[in-house]
Structure 1
């Protein structure tokens, strides 16, 4: 049921006394963790807190990737699991802060660090995870490129070198042809 389809319900909600409306609003907000965090950020935190959140998440990315690289026999399955988890953390950061600039910065940081150079044999059971990792990397890069193009020109200029580093990483992994097929540029 969408509120816009029920104009009488919308009118009834606006007619509720403010005290009762506040109670209902607080009950609704309490049911959604992300909405609660978003409102806390929007109403109680400032620009310094956004920078603290970005720094903490960048450190979490660094720590997770370095822990992955320290595993003696890490596989593409391990890298894919870590990549998905960290990508989810960046998504959560965006849902809470609604800041596209830090989202793009964090995702670029993640893409630059995540390892892709696993050489599992075609006959190995891990070969399928190697392909999945590269496919996930390509899709994440494409989604990021679309967000990157919507940023302000100054920020695009500041992040240009980092994005080109990700595109070079694709080239090093022999993913250039696949990148062109999905619409990624050769260089920004």
Structure 2
């Protein structure tokens, strides 16, 4: 049930006494971890905490890099998906689109592109990894293009470095067939 579909409910909620609204709000927030974390960030944290969150994600990813280099394509795909999920969670909590783009470019730049083949199973995880990597890069570029041009300027060098990395690897053919630009 959506609140927009029930205008009477919306009016009734706004007419509730403040104490009762607070009680209901706290109960609702407690049921959603992301909303709770978002409100904590919005109400209790500041710009330095935002930078701290970004640095934590970068440090966590850098700690995982040595292990990531030893994995096969299947396990690397799972790890990289978790890294990107961590960045997506960062965005859900902070609503910082600049930080999201910056972190995704960082993750995509630092992770290796070559992995051992997995001989078990029927799936080509190397291909799945390449598809995921290119798709994530495309999504990141689209979000990059929505940023203000001054912010784009700050991130352009790192994004071009990422595109250069892709086009000088085995992923070049996949990138080209996906119409990924060579340069921004």
TM category, shorter: over 0.9
Instruction: Choose the corresponding residue for 1:149, options 125, 141, 145.
Output: 145
The aligned runs of 1:96-111 (5 Å cut-off) are 96-111=93-108
Unmatched 5+ stretches in structure 1: none
Superposed CA RMSD: 1.6
Q: In the aligned structure 2, how far is the partner of 1:150 from the partner of 1:107? A: 15
CA deviation string 1:85-143 (max 9, x = no partner): 1111101111111001111111111001111113538xx34771111110100110010
Q: What is residue 64 of structure 2 aligned with on the other side?
A: 64
User: 19-28 or 8-17: which moved more?
Assistant: 8-17
Query: How high is the TM-score relative to the length of structure 1?
Result: 0.91
- How many residues are aligned here? 183
Aligned: 1:82 with 2:87: no
Aligned: 1:14 with 2:40: no
The aligned runs of 1:21-170 (5 Å cut-off) are 21-69=21-69, 71=70, 74-118=71-115, 120=117, 124-125=119-120, 128-170=124-166
CA deviation string 1:47-101 (max 9, x = no partner): 00001111111101111122322x3xx2111211110111111011111110011
- Is the contact made by 2:102 and 2:155 (CA closer than 8 Å) also made in structure 1? yes
Query: How high is the TM-score relative to the length of structure 2?
Result: 0.93
- Is the contact made by 2:76 and 2:115 (CA closer than 8 Å) also made in structure 1? no
* Cα displacement (A) at 1:174: 3.5
Q: In the aligned structure 2, how far is the partner of 1:22 from the partner of 1:119? A: 55
